Amino acid sequence: MVTIEVKKIVKALKASDGAGVKLKRSIGTPEADYVDPFLMLDEFGSENKDDYLAGFPPHPHRGIETVTYMLNGEFEHEDSTGSKGNMGPGDIQWMKTGRGIIHSEMPAMSDGKLLGFQLWINMPSSMKMNKPKYEYIKSDQKTKFEDQDKKINLIAGIFENVEGPVKGHNVEPIYFDVELNENKKVNFTVPETHNSFIYLLKGDLKIGSKKHENISDSTLILLEKGSDLEVLANKKSKFLFIAGKPIGEPIARGGPFVMNTKAEILQAIQDYNNGTFAKY
């Protein structure tokens, strides 16, 4: 048994993406550039409609997976494969972009609170040019664990013999949405191969057995490798716990494209410009 301790605490940075949607970015920043296999983590949310109504108009991706998890509000999704649909509270869209997809994500609401997350996961070189593929999980399809101390929505991974709906993935992901009551603990078992982190949405946590600085809302907590993670809520808290097996390959980035070499990025740009990008 190897106890998992805090490695680094990173306060999310205010940013904007798409057509000016306000968000908080924690992975994909100078403090946490790449946590193999995770490329980016954004928290998007506001009660001010002007912060999100412009949405994310059509844009391309290649070589990554995007995992969008809605907590409040609605997004309408449409893409170059012909897929179209609405995401509501509690829904998850797990998109493997592969060789190329052009999609848009636009708020399907004109007022109210919007809150959610988007996680980017790298793809190994052997899968980067595959045909795009979706896994769409409605809120009532998530598996749940609940007792008097905690509520856990499982998207991927296993907790107390309850397994999330995303299975058979190459990075063997864990993705839990956790609500932990005040002065209560939760223990997670993690493969020692995995990189892992907690994203605290709100509350106050004590992680591991060693003393660490106080953690406030909208904060990324990068974790050391190990097998046993203990989390204590100093007050009622909501957080994501995410882990995955590193891919261990070189990465080259070009905006929405993530490949292994600069030449492959230039090829993606050329394919997009000449109209062959999203041909399947």
Q: Which CATH architecture has domain 6-274?
A: Sandwich (2.60)
Residue identified by tokens 């409609």 is: 49
- The secondary structure of the chain, three-state, reads CCECCEEEEEECEEEEECCCEEEEEEECECCECCECCEEEEEEEEECCHHHCCCCEEEEEEECEEEEEEEEECCEEEEECCCCEEEECCCCEEEEECCCCEEEEEEECCCCCCEEEEEEEEECCCCCCCCCCEEEEECHHHCEEEECCCEEEEEEECEECCEECCECCCCCCCEEEEEEECCCCEEEEECCCCCEEEEEEEEEEEEECCCCCCCCCCCEEEEECCCCEEEEEEEEEEEEEEEEECCCCCCCEEECCEEECCHHHHHHHHHHHHHCCCCCC
Average confidence (pLDDT) over 272-280: 82
Average confidence (pLDDT) over 34-56: 86
Confidence (pLDDT) at 19: 59
pLDDT tens digit string along 159-191?
A: 999 999 999 999 999 999 999 999 999 999 999
Average confidence (pLDDT) over 200-220: 92
C-alpha dihedral sign at 263, 265, 270, 276: positive
pLDDT tens digit string along 101-150?
A: 998 888 877 677 889 999 999 999 999 999 998 889 999 889 999 999 99
Domain assignments of the chain as residue spans, ordered by start: 6-274
- Determine contact, residues 125/249, Cβ cutoff 8 Å: yes
Confidence (pLDDT) at 56: 80
Average confidence (pLDDT) over 48-54: 75
Whether pLDDT at 207 is above 90: yes
Report the mean per-residue pLDDT for the chain: 92
Confidence (pLDDT) at 49: 74
